Amino acid sequence: MARIDGPLGDALTDLLELGFADLYLQPGPPLPAAAAPPRPEPAPPPPEPVAVEQAAPPPPAPASSETRLASLDQLAAEAQVCESCRLCRTRNKVVFGSGDPRAALMFVGEGPGAEEDRQGLPFVGPAGELLTKIIQAIGLDRNQVYIANVVKCRPPGNRDPRPDEAAACRRFLDGQIAAIQPKVIVALGRVAAQTLLGTDLPLGQMRGRWFSVQGRPVRVTYHPAALLRTPAWKRPTWEDMQLVRDRLAEGAREAV
Ligand code: URA
């Protein structure tokens, strides 16, 4: 296959590695024989309506950036010795979160798996490798985002976290969001999204719309582990992530 040089070629390579080959290598319609007369640029589509739903009232925002970073460190220290639920009895390591504490983009997963429990870091197993590629596909490095889970200790056998476990851990997640103040949050999978948003909606009804937590836009997409099982969901995930990337760019433009 011919190699395209430059940023477009790099982006295509990223997408191929992510598994989006089927999307981008399909032949397009034949090109017209003669050049068509120039047409005016189509008007950009109107912005997507934002469905704002508040899962819980936001905690008061800490004042300065230093205060917020200190509160994140304090929370991490508290999590290390937390015994608020049964998961503390079977955990090996607490998996508080990792990444840039000033990140514009935050991912929220479900809970640590075996490898995460061993290393004390989120998304470092096979699902984590795919999450890293998803992050790279929107032009970011893993260390430029923040990654956390709704529960900080591994549920035995990778079962879903129970509601009382998620509730016991909620103050850590809320504290992380309040300290980091991300411009966009991505909830990975049904369990993470339902817990973060405080809803029973099925994944199909959570995808495709914007929610709000602590006044911050939340997008729901498939969990990377689900993408490993069902590669056909990579395409809708890519579509979700393009909207996330656009939303981040809006935030960046507003900040200029
Ligand atoms: N799955 C999750 O939801 N979180 C992790 O940290 C790893 C796998």
Tell which atom from ligand 1 comes closest to the C-alpha of 109.
3
110 pocket-lining for ligand 1 (C-beta < 6 Å): yes
CA nearest to 158, candidates 202, 108, 116, 204: 116
Tokens representing residue 210 in the block: 């914007």
CA distance 116 to 128: 9
Q: Give the model confidence (pLDDT) of 198-213 as tens digits.
A: 999 999 999 999 999 9
Ligand 1 contacts CB of residue 112 (under 6 A): yes
Place of tokens 């795919």: 130
149 lines ligand 1 (CB under 6 A): yes
User: What's the pLDDT tens digit per position in 196-251?
Assistant: 999 999 999 999 999 999 999 999 999 999 999 999 999 999 999 999 999 999 97
Residues of the chain with pLDDT > 90, as a percent, come to 73
Is the minimum distance from the CB of 214 to ligand 1 under 6 angstroms?
A: no
Average pLDDT (163-184) is 98
Best probe residue, ligand 1, of 123, 132, 227 (max atoms within 8 Å of C-beta): 123
Start-to-end C-alpha separation, the chain: 40
Q: Say if ligand 1 is within 6 A of residue 117 CB.
A: no
Q: What's 117-176 look like in SS3?
A: HHHCCCCCCHHHHHHHHHHHHCCCCHHHCEEEECCCCCCHHHCCCCHHHHHHHHHHHHHH
Answer whether 161 contacts ligand 1 (Cβ < 6 A): no
Helix (H) or strand (E) holding 183: none
Q: Ligand 1: distance of its center to the CA of 154 in Å?
A: 9
Burial of 230 (0-12, 13-18, 19+ CB in 10 A): exposed
Strand locations in the chain (E): 98-99, 105-109, 146-149, 184-188, 211-213, 216-221
Q: How far apart are the CA of 121 and the centre of ligand 1, in A?
A: 9
66 confidence band (pLDDT: 50, 70, 90): very high
Residue 195 near ligand 1, beta carbon < 6 Å: no
Gap from CA of 190 to ligand 1 centroid (Å): 13
More confident residue, 33 or 119: 119
Q: Is 219 helix (H, G, I), strand (E, B) or coil?
A: strand
Our answer on whether the CB atom of 98 is closer than 6 Å to any ligand 1 atom is no
Please, what's the b/e burial string for 191-224 (b: 16 or more CB within 10 A of its CB; e: otherwise)? bbbbbbbeeebebeebbebbbbbbebbbbbbbbb
What is the spatial distance between Cα 55 and Cα 196, in angstroms, rounded to a whole number? 7
Is any atom of ligand 1 closer than 6 Å to the C-beta of 127? yes
